[in-house]
A and B are shown apart, each in its own frame.
Chain A
Amino acid sequence: MARGDEAGEIETPMPETTLATAAETVTLVIDGQSVTVPKGTLLIEAARQAGIEIPSYCYYPNLSLQGACRMCLVSIAKMPKLQTACTTIVSEGMTVHTQTPEVANARKAMLEFELTNHPLDCPVCDKGGECELQDAVFRYGAAETRFMEAKLHHEEKRFSNLVYYDWPRCILCYRCIRICDEGMDVNALGIAFRGARSEIIPNREDHLECEECGMCIDICPVGALTSGTYRYKARPWELSYTGTICNHCGDGCKTTLGVRNNEIIRANNRDHSGINGEFLCVKGRFGWDFVNSRQRLTVPLVRRNGHQEQSTWQEALSLTHKTLRAIGEKYGADSIAVIGSNRTTNEENYLLQRLARTLLGTNNIDHHRTADYSSLVSALTEARATDRYATMDDLSAAASVLLIGNDPTHQHPLAAYQIRQAVRLRGARLYVVNSAEIKLAVRQASVFVKVRAGGEADLVGSLADQRPVPPGLVLNGADKLGALAERLAKESDTIIVFGDELRGAAIGDLVRWGLTLPGRPRFMALGDYANSRGAADMGLLPGTLPGYRAVADPEARARYEAVWGAPVPAGEGRHIRAILDAAQSGEIKALVVFGSNPVKTFQLPEGALSRLAFLVVSELFPTETTACADVVLPAASFAEKSGTVTNTSGQLQWMRRPARGFDVPDSALGPVPTRAEPILNTMRRTGTRSDLEILLALAREFGARWPYRSAEDVLREIIASVPGYAVALPPLLMGRAVATQAEGTPPPLERPDLVFTSRDSLFTSGTVSRFSWALNSVEESKQPHGHIF
């Protein structure tokens, strides 16, 4: 297995399928059935396309070929011996038999060999019921063994708190090693010894030091690699599975939650569907456990005599309404402000800004912006190029990628994975501009331009205006920028990805210059958290209505006034820094916070919010911000609600509320809240309500008659009225990612410091990660980020 170190020098046999141009085809006959496939297709894939199953262990699509497990032996006419279908490239007229007695015997023989040292501990094995070895023995025989010798045994090893290795169960298919090397570029697994004693070893000899993504566990066909959070917890058939969207970073991976008895037991992308295919990072695979945390808020709190005391929903909501209303009446609507979340759903965000604008009467609404989506939308709209948003799927299919700023390996694991896939499987070229020697630059880039800290925008400016590069801007050779420009001029359809280093006018420069590149260049802004993009798209911005319509634009206001049947204030509101300043100066009297922790994020000084007359916070956990609140509303997590989220590349996805797994009677879960969505048999944390439910209840308190009963109802309105979101509902509800096409001319960025990433690492995810055992249990999370190479 060649390592990537000498990339380009050592050739690893790769499945040709991915490299072949589909133009030419080959026709062959498998089991009497004529099959036509693209030239270069592997026999095993050709058979699969024809619906003929050839068993395999070591073969795994898109990973290098091993020819190791010999399960895929088939008979090919004119060949003296059986051949491995996983390494045979189809040829015209090839005649293949997969069902002869000889082939059946070979399969049985291989299984018998696999089972010689394999323990038959299926009843207690985590993989029981979904084990590829178990399945194959069931299908192809060899259940009776003639093996009479003593089985070799080694004790199970803990590679890390999240990854365990049980040697006797390992069939040495090398999938784990390859996914770690080739897929993750982490290279944390190896092999020691040889022959029947061969074993998988972690890179630190007695433990792993890696990204802890758990891809190795997922890809293991048997129960050799098991998950520290799942092992010995459940039988797979006891769980009920629901595909939803991970709530951590902005990439929007699909993840399947396995739930039993109203508790999440594990997460993985079981069916490899969705934009991430088989990929999940440590947060997606293990970081959901905050949902189960005992520290969750489950009872509304109301401050009485200086102390937060337990209360009821009715009291908390009515108090909130009354206080807000009183403050609005006394000090005017401008004395109230709203801070939204970049994790809550589009529907919740949409309702939150509707509440702010129509019930509180203010445009003082904002959120922690982690990317300047507004400026990208403006620039593309101005250039009439709103068809040039790149999606995560585009990224993996790209021929060339220009990455400016950010460190996707740590902040956008899926984007990084897609880029690596493009480079590895399609020979795509990656160009990197960054002030740090990020891993993608060192390991994958064709050209890396290292700029001084904060120099990305200057560099883009130079490119756009063909200005000479300021001295001292490029740190790794004056000619680097020339080389970059020259190479890019020869590329086609380059995807340009950028982080928070580019904001405001710099994004305008980038788009202006980028669009002059050959082909159909496309753009992607990288922002943190599951719904940062949706927060901007849904108008959690002081000057922007949903769909990037300026509040200053009377036409835009009129349009939403018609939909909402209420006036929308005309003046631009305060942005988040202004809101927080005004809260400290006393100008803002009441603050409404949903799913956000501004005290921490904006590093407010102690007591900064003490001049507020009223602070209401909807949250999952006690935070620095809830500590200051007068009312705390215990919110449902992503795993307890449905709704859509928009990933950083603008792909809209349906977050589906998981089934509860086993029928726990509703009565056991406490009082049922407003039926804002069907709750029967779905996950719910006793005492909590989704933000959607909270917003609907609050609106009712205000006497508003909002016409929604569920997230779906809100989504229908979004589809009908928010520009860029006119998508078809069925594919979305079926679990597909649907690209949105934001367009509009929102007001320019008020201040550059409004946009900043939270610099979360692989193991952190804002406040919630503090409540994840899994993310805090791994050694790597305690080290400075960026050490994993």
Chain B
Amino acid sequence: MLSEALKAKFDQVIARYPVKRSAIVPLLLFGQDEIGYISDELVEEIARRVEVRPIEVIEDISYYSMLHRQPIGKYNLQVCTNISCLLRGGEEILEHCRRRLGIDPKGTTPDGLFSLEEVECLGACCGAPAMQVNYEFYENLTPEKVDRLIEELRIRTANGHPR
């Protein structure tokens, strides 16, 4: 079930366009933000609201790299290794995360807390090496900074902080 707030958001977003289907990608992203992934129910719900067949929503999902149909960790560490970050140690950051979390890219820690992803250019080239945790940018990273961040996120969770 979608929250009332999300439903209201959906209505508000759909109203922005003369053609409802324009709202598909924003709705998918906002829905995923709340649910954590794109459930079948969400697909149906969006298709219904924007008046398209579910396949048209499904076609979109796999096109966009940020959308996923399976649950992932609470914190998704998305490490950029593209050229500007590569030049400043992006791969080492990724490797560090991999060792630190004990998971491969596209993997999730058994406690469901962290996922790791190698991503393309995040638009943080001048703050390289950079990563995004969910939507938050972390830049000019060093392995130590990453350690501190992971620790902080663990504590945040322990304190019952929402995602």
Contacts and interface: CB of A to CB of B under 8 A. Distances in A.
A187 B53 contact: yes
A194 to B, nearest CB: 5
Nearest to A205: B58
B52 interface: yes
Contact of B52 (A5, A194, A201): A5
Interface string B50-65: 0111111011001100
Given A5-B21, A190-B58, A203 B53 contact: yes
A190 B63 CA distance: 12
A201 B51 contact: no
A201 B55 contact: yes
A176 to B, nearest CB: 14
A192 interface: yes
Which interface residue of B18, B21, B54, B59 has the most chain A CB atoms within 10 A? Answer: B59
Contacts of A5: 21, 51-52
Contacts of B158: none
B55 A187 contact: yes
Contact of B55 (A6, A190, A194): A190
A203 B54 CA distance: 8
A88 to B, nearest CB: 28
B19 A192 contact: no
Contacts of B63: 192-194
A9 interface: yes
Interface string A164-205: 000000000000000000000001101111100000011111
A10 interface: yes
A28 B106 CA distance: 55
A48 interface: no
Interface residues of B, number: 13
B112 to A, nearest CB: 25
Interface residues of A, number: 17
A3 B62 CA distance: 18
A201 B19 contact: no
Contacts of B59: 190-192, 201
A297 to B, nearest CB: 44
A5 B22 CA distance: 12
Interface string B15-30: 0001101000000000
Nearest to A203: B55
B56 A190 contact: yes
B19 A9 contact: yes
B21 A193 contact: no
Nearest to A789: B53
Interface in A478-536: none
Contacts of A202: 55
Interface string B24-55: 00000000000000000000000000011111
Contacts of A3: 52, 56
Contacts of B51: 5
A203 B52 CA distance: 12
Nearest to A191: B59
A99 B51 CA distance: 48
A187 B62 CA distance: 18
Contacts of A203: 53-55
B62 A192 contact: yes
Contacts of A187: 53, 55-56
A41 B144 CA distance: 65
B56 A6 contact: no
B55 A193 contact: no
Contact of B62 (A10, A188, A194): A194
Nearest to A188: B55
A775 B55 CA distance: 25
A9 B20 CA distance: 12
B103 to A, nearest CB: 23
B136 to A, nearest CB: 26
A6 B53 CA distance: 13
Nearest to B52: A5
A714 B56 CA distance: 55
Contacts of A191: 59
A192 B58 contact: yes
B58 A201 contact: yes
Contacts of A205: 55, 58
A9 B21 CA distance: 12
A203 B47 CA distance: 13
A204 B56 CA distance: 11
Nearest to B65: A194
Contacts of B21: 5-6
A209 to B, nearest CB: 10
Contacts of A10: 19
Nearest to A6: B19
A5 B54 CA distance: 13
Interface string A8-46: 011000000000000000000000000000000000000
Contacts of B18: 9
A187 B19 CA distance: 19
Contacts of B56: 3, 187, 190
Contacts of A190: 55-56, 58-59
Nearest to B63: A194
A263 to B, nearest CB: 37
A104 B19 CA distance: 44
14 contacts: A5-B21, A5-B52, A6-B21, A9-B18, A9-B19, A187-B56, A190-B56, A191-B59, A192-B58, A192-B63, A194-B62, A201-B58, A202-B55, A204-B55
Given A6-B19, A192-B58, 11 more contacts: A3-B52, A3-B56, A5-B52, A9-B18, A9-B19, A187-B56, A190-B59, A192-B62, A192-B63, A201-B59, A205-B58
Interface of B: 18-19, 21, 51-56, 58-59, 62-63
Sorted nearest first, the 10 A-B pairs with minimum C-beta distance are A203-B55, A190-B59, A192-B62, A190-B55, A193-B62, A6-B19, A194-B63, A191-B59, A9-B19, A187-B53
